[in-house]
Amino acid sequence: MGLLPVVLGFTAFAAGCPGGDDQASPGTSGDGASGGSSAVEWGSCPGDFISECATVALPLDPSKPDGETLPVFVSRHLAPGGAAKAQVWLLQGGPGDSGNMFTGFIEQLWERVMPEVDWYVLEHRGVGRSSRLGCPVQEDPSSEDGADIGASEWPACVQALKAQWGDDLAHFTTSADADDLARLLDLTREHGKKVILFGASYGTARALRFLQKYPEAADAVILDSIASPGAQYLSLYDMQFDPVAKELSAICAVDPVCGAKLGPDPWAKLDALSGKLTEGHCSQLGIDAALFASIAPAFVQLRSVRTHLFPLAYRIDRCEAGDVQVVGHYMQALSGSSSQADGGEPRGSAVLGAHVALSEMWEDPAPTSAELQARCDAQRFCPGAALEIGQLYDAWPRYPHDQFWSEWPRSSVPILAMNGLLDPQTPIGVAELAADRLTAPHQTFVAVPWSPHVVTFESPVKTAGAAPCGTQMMAKFIADPEAPVDTTCLDDLVPVTWDEDPAVVEKLFGTKDMWENTASPAPAPRMVAPVDWAAVARLARGRSLRVER
């Protein structure tokens, strides 16, 4: 997403093509001028959504229900045979990410585990076909930074945004999204089916805002990776990775493989490596301390590659010819695995992401650029997201805080709140505020060991063929929101280890051994070109890396 990374969103299973073909149903659009739709007319979907879709005309200004409308996109995937007992509304994060990410989850996991659920996806206003906010000139693939919006392109983008939308930008808010959801629930609610909200990451902020405005309108809510109101500010994002990296280092120290390589204090090894890179260590690799600091957070963030940080650091520290070759191969292989197909209709919106981040997920008073720089400099691993987004603060047409800003809801509906203990995006110390604020009967907070962001998917268990622990808890909660939350799967969690799948090692490292230069690599790692470290850094900061496992 360019400047704004997927800081409070997630990427996992492939969700079809990036934009899909032009098969979308025209849906319900009213007269396109005033008033909201009175029904939802379901039709076909673009290729990255399932199985029925509609575009519904909802009030641009929710306080003026008979005024100008805004097209808002929604999809649904019904349980087979009309067997559903619940409607689950999926709220994606980002801010600015598209709900098309849920397609793979539904098809590959959820409909198998929860066959009696109708799945609904609401695309946040300003994203995808919900009147996407964008800057076509600056996001043109032929522009200076391609489809991403580079730092030098943002001033012109902001001016274009103001010219197109003017004061109406103030209606692209979390609260307006809650109003959209409320209207759609009224249009789609069915007798005998529970209405349950699922929010992931910034999606939890969406769900919590909905509960503030409509405290009893849903039958239950699931919060996965909690953006705690009044505490989870994206202006603090650059300080959230070192603590998790230290926890991973402590696990490495007692692991028989990792500890044997990095010794009793792996964090000290990583710290020392940064100092050596500052002095020009391993110059033939072409990476310096600043680049290492901006790339490493992606490894801390993602379960599939987080253990790889340590053998990579071990090799960079040793810096033999074989190490340089292996590290280069790794970065090129990872970049290839993480690339997304070009073309197609754009979905996510870096513009909407910045708009929400700077308007209501930023500290007040706002930190200065110097303060943001000092925070980043004080970290060993700094993604630089807050630092870059913060440069836009003064020029951005921010919307004002409303009465719901930084507050928690007062609702009696059952809530399952989950957060990983190794999550750098919604850190456990902030997320666990939910345990103190959501205290009504049947409101439960669960901390999940070893899990990073979005525990519904990132909490694998040892039992072969079983769903991730987060999904198991989710499924039982949907079946009976008032029953005690079944956390027995926590005892079955797969811990953090350095016993990597040999196929993954060969694919990414280009050799059989993550750590050592063996005499018989398989096959011999070979770099066809020097690593484009700037491109790797942009990839690490601009989107979640995905490794097919």
Handedness of CA 311, 288, 337, 467 (dihedral sign): positive
Distance, in Å, from the CA atom of 288 to the CA atom of 281, rounded to the nearest integer, reads: 8
Distance, in Å, from the CA atom of 119 to the CA atom of 49, rounded to the nearest integer, reads: 11
What pLDDT is stored for residue 404 in this prediction?
Answer: 98
Residues 6+ apart with CB under 8 A from 534: none
What pLDDT is stored for residue 529 in this prediction?
Answer: 58
Distance, in Å, from the CA atom of 298 to the CA atom of 305, rounded to the nearest integer, reads: 8
Nearest to 516 by CA among 234, 323, 319: 323
Coil vs helix vs strand at 87 = strand
Coil vs helix vs strand at 393 = coil
What pLDDT is stored for residue 345 in this prediction?
Answer: 85
What pLDDT is stored for residue 518 in this prediction?
Answer: 82
Phi, psi of 58 (to 5 degrees): -120, 160
Tokens of residue 162, six digits: 């103001």
pTM above 0.85, yes or no: yes
Distance, in Å, from the CA atom of 261 to the CA atom of 319, rounded to the nearest integer, reads: 15
Distance, in Å, from the CA atom of 450 to the CA atom of 470, rounded to the nearest integer, reads: 12
pLDDT, averaged in runs of 10, over the chain (549 residues): 43 40 36 51 96 98 97 97 95 96 96 97 98 94 87 94 97 99 97 98 98 98 98 98 98 98 98 96 93 93 95 98 95 70 78 98 98 97 94 97 98 99 98 98 99 98 98 99 98 97 95 87 51 62 37
Tokens of residue 255, six digits: 């692991």
Long-range contacts of 528-534 (CB under 8 A, 24+ apart): 528/332, 529/332, 530/286, 530/328, 531/285, 531/286, 531/287, 531/328, 531/331, 531/332, 533/286, 533/287, 533/291, 533/295, 533/331
Helix axes 533-542, 321-338, angle to 10 degrees: 40
Distance, in Å, from the CA atom of 97 to the CA atom of 77, rounded to the nearest integer, reads: 20
Distance, in Å, from the CA atom of 211 to the CA atom of 203, rounded to the nearest integer, reads: 12
DSSP H or E segment with residue 312: helix 309-318
Radius of gyration of the chain (CA): 23
Residues 6+ apart with CB under 8 A from 24: 43, 44, 45, 46, 53, 55, 73, 129
11 in Cβ contact with 543 (< 8 Å): yes
Beta partners for residue 92, in sequence order: none
What pLDDT is stored for residue 519 in this prediction?
Answer: 62
- Spatial strand order of the sheet with 117-122 comes to 52-59, 69-77, 117-122, 86-91, 194-201, 220-226, 415-420, 443-448
Helix axes 242-254, 266-278, angle to 10 degrees: 120
String of DSSP letters for 313-343? HHHHHH--HHHHHHHHHHHHHHHHHH-----
DSSP H or E segment with residue 196: strand 194-201
What pLDDT is stored for residue 527 in this prediction?
Answer: 47
Beta partners for residue 53, in sequence order: 43, 75
Phi, psi of 72 (to 5 degrees): -125, 130
DSSP H or E segment with residue 352: helix 350-360
Q: Is 530 exposed, middle or buried (0-12, 13-18, 19+ CB in 10 A)?
A: exposed
Helices (H) and strands (E) in the chain, counts: 19, 8
Distance, in Å, from the CA atom of 278 to the CA atom of 287, rounded to the nearest integer, reads: 10
Domains of the chain, each with CATH number or no CATH: 50-134+152-235+404-492 (3.40.50.1820), 237-338+497-544 (no CATH)
First and final CA of the chain: distance in angstroms? 23
